Structures are given as structure tokens and as C-alpha cells.
Amino acid sequence: MTEFAKEYGTALYDLCAEEGLTDGILKEMQVLSRCFRENPDFLRLLGNLSLEKDERIAILDETLQGRIHGYLLNFLRILTERGAISAFRDCACAFEELYDRDHRTVEARVTTAKPLTEEQRRKIENKIREMTGRQPKLLQRVDPALLGGVLLEMDGKRYDNTVKSRLAAIRQAMTAEN
């Protein structure tokens, strides 16, 4: 994430926090991020500096005015005017990091060999709450190559309790003995 994205994402977050709008703006930013990812041509159009700034802003307004909060629309206008609309996703990430910090949320990536049941998910969430004192936001992924167990990644740490890693440890121990 660039300093630009941090600075702009933080500025938007601070404004929204003052107004009590962080929940709604975060949801809108997540939807926009997904839309921009699914429609990269729209983002390229807004970032096309061969078009006049007024044309790019008019396209943005025509597409989003009345559909998103005015603060977020103005934010997109600023990014578009500065030719930095491509930084939106990173700005949204900076915004979300501040939101998570203020709401004592921790993002946890959980990878398992099969999809988690609701009970397994609840147990993992409870364990994370116990470990961190924060509310977990689970991002689940399935990787059959793990064979079983759980791989948990959060706060820059990796907790690997998968069958695959245990087999690798046994293999390494046996090789080291010979």
C-alpha cells in the first residue's frame, strides 16, 4: 500500500468517523471495489488522462451520483481529478484497516481441506476471540492439498496445524536422523 493510499484512505476515514458514517461508507467501498475489479474498463476510463478532467468527472457523476454517499462520490472525484483513481482499492484497504482497528476486529484467513461447518467456524471464532480479545472476521479458503487440519493466518502470524505440515515435519525428522 502506498503512502498516497494511506493518506487519502485515512483522510476519508477520519471525516466519516467524525460524522458516524464509517459503517455505511465501508460497505459502499467494498461494493465499489468489487465492481471495479469486475469492470476494470470502467476504472481505466476514469483514469484515462487523454479525456478531459470534466468528462471523466461527468462519467463518474452519471454513473454513481445518488447511488453512493456524497462523501464517497467526492472522494472518487478527487482521485479522478488527480489521475489517481487506480489507487482506490488501496485507499479502501487503508480505510478498512482503520475501521477494523477502531472496532477491535481482526482479519483471520482460515484454510482447510474441506469447507468448515457452522460449528467448526464458531469454535475457530471463539478461539481467536480468546487469543486476541478482538472480534474475528474470517476469510475462508479450501485447499484439499492440506489433507486435514487448519491453517490460520492473522496479524502477520501463521498457525499451521494441518496434516500436510505435520507429515512434512515427520518426514524432516526421519531424514535428519539418518
**Residue 62 one-letter amino acid:** E
Q: What is the mean pLDDT of residues 62-79?
A: 97
Residues 6+ apart with CB under 8 A from 69: 21, 24, 25, 28
C-alpha cell at 61: 457523476
pLDDT of 169: 85
pLDDT of 1: 81
Helix (H), strand (E) at residue 109: strand 105-112
Q: What is the mean pLDDT of residues 155-165?
A: 89
**What pTM does this model have?**
0.71
Q: What is the mean pLDDT of residues 114-129?
A: 94
State the pLDDT confidence band at 178, using cuts at 50, 70 and 90: low
Q: What percent of the chain has pLDDT above 90? A: 79
Q: What is the DSSP letter of 115?
A: P
Q: Lowest-pLDDT range, 118-122, 140-144, 150-154, 163-167? A: 163-167
DSSP codes, 128-145: HHHHHSSEEEEEEEE-GG
pLDDT of 173: 87
What are the φ and ψ backbone dihedral angles of 100, each rounded to 5 degrees? -60, -40
What domains, with CATH codes, occur in the chain?
Answer: 3-100 (1.10.520.20), 105-177 (no CATH)
C-alpha cell at 168: 512434512
User: Do β-strands 135-142 and 157-162 pair in parallel, antiparallel, or remain unpaired?
Assistant: unpaired
pLDDT in tens, 162-175: 988 888 888 888 88
Is residue 85 within 8 A of residue 47, CB to CB? The reply is: yes
Cell 469492470 belongs to residue: 39
